[in-house]
Structure 1
Amino acid sequence: MKASLAWLFLLFSTPIFAQLTVREQFEKIGTKEEAQKFIDANPALKPTLLYLTLGKDTTLIDKRLLKQNKGDIFSVGYVTYKVLDGTETTNYRANYIFLDGFSLSPAEVDSLKKVILQKHSEGVSFEDLSDQYTMDGNKTRGDTDWFFGEMMMPKEFQDAVSKHKKGDVFFVDVPERQWHYIVKKTYDDQVKKEITVLRANGR
């Protein structure tokens, strides 16, 4: 009799023990479509998708989530989160003076660089120097506005700006195109990050 009761207990309790935890279920979810299926199938867990933006969403849990990477899963209390997707870009902004190596000799380029730096060190604004010397006809006083990616500026330009801090003045050369830039970084980098998070009660 006792053996039969024990067998019945194991029989009926097996599905309970075999049921996946929320974390285990989250590990199997990799897309928003799969997340939506989970949401539809588990209303008791109050699941939802969160869309968070760095700088806009500022609660403590939002800030913690925004530090996570795609695929990360963690629990706070009895709530579990998974970062399903995320995009991050860094925008840069600077002022520049363009010197055309097809129109100027290397010696003339070097001479102009020295003249421009000397005038800037004497107090002439970089914007005024751009208006006076740039050779690309820009009407923005050399301001790049916020940019990222090679569609906006040459890779050499972006790489150099990313390595300098606000206020630095430096040279960028693109030898194969004979492009020469004198650049002043005018703003700190602007990081944009957006993530999609699956949230549900349970662990």
Structure 2
Amino acid sequence: MLKILLTTTLLFISTIAFAQKEFEKSLDSVQTLDDVTLFFKKHKKAKGKVIVFNEEKHKTQMAQDIFKMSVGAKKYFKDAPQKTYYKVIEKYEIPYYKVSCVFLDGQKKSIEDINTIRQTVISKYGKGYRFEDLAKQYSMDMSAKQGGDLGWFTNGDLHPDFESAVIDGAYNVDDIFTLDIPDIKAYYVVLITEDKKLIEEAKVLKVTEPRK
């Protein structure tokens, strides 16, 4: 009886080990985003998704480890409740931009009032007032709390007209200008705060090995 139990246990362990190797082998074959789709079709019980790490926005130890990995490399973190792999599918650099702004709401103020405020902001900035303080005083959206700082953004993050004005405009750091987007009644004073910057991103497949 004991011999049978030992044989059954060893067979069970061997089956689990084989399944784990097959799972890892299948994961190793994933090279593209299309492969990710095929992987989840094959391993329906596996939980996971593709996530994007941004070198400027993500400063955790995990993110630092990810950016040290080459494309195709994978690793797992032993402290996770289940064995969770992170596999780098793509790494690339894309241009990012950084501005601060004063937003004025055309639904709440007339265009005359808006232009008066914008002239005041530009005049005070020219006299040495900090743009951060001006944004906190005049801006009419949540960015006022950050002194108008919108953070790093890239093409597709903001309204197309706003992006076009910043990306296609021949502006330098500390240049200040006005921007109108009448279709959404949005009016701005925009300050360029940083030069265009290439920031590395990584598309990573995060997948948890299913429990046996």
Question: If the length of structure 2 is used for normalisation, what is the TM-score?
Answer: 0.49
Q: 1:111 to 1:87 in 2, by over 3 A?
A: same
Distance 1:120 1:193 in 2: 33
Displacement over 6 Å in runs of 4+: none
1:99 aligns with 2:99: no
Which of 191, 198, 212 pairs up with 1:184? 191
Once the two structures are superposed, residues 20-71 of structure 1 have per-residue CA deviations (whole angstroms, 9 ceiling, x without a partner) of xxxxxxxxxxxx68xxxxxxxxxxxxxxxxxxx9xxxxxxxxxxxxxxxxxx
Deviation at 1:104, TM superposition (A): 0.7
* SS of structure 1 residue aligned to 2:148: coil
1:175 aligns with 2:182: yes
The higher radius of gyration belongs to 1
1:89 aligns with 2:127: no
Tell me which amino acid in the other structure corresponds to 1:126.
Answer: F
Partner of 2:173: 166
The alignment yields a C-alpha RMSD, in angstroms, of 2.4
* SS of structure 1 residue aligned to 2:151: coil
Distance 1:143 1:193 in 2: 21
Tell me which amino acid in the other structure corresponds to 2:108.
Answer: S
1:118 aligns with 2:123: yes
Deviation at 1:148, TM superposition (A): 1.1
Question: If the length of structure 1 is used for normalisation, what is the TM-score?
Answer: 0.51
Deviation at 1:92, TM superposition (A): 0.5
- Gaps in structure 1 of 5+ consecutive residues: 1-31, 34-52, 54-84, 196-203
Partner of 2:149: 143
Q: 1:87 to 1:137 in 2, by over 3 A?
A: closer
Distance 1:130 1:105 in 2: 19
Partner of 2:66: none
Tell me which amino acid in the other structure corresponds to 1:180.
Answer: Y
Identity over aligned residues, as a percent? 30
Deviation at 1:171, TM superposition (A): 1.1
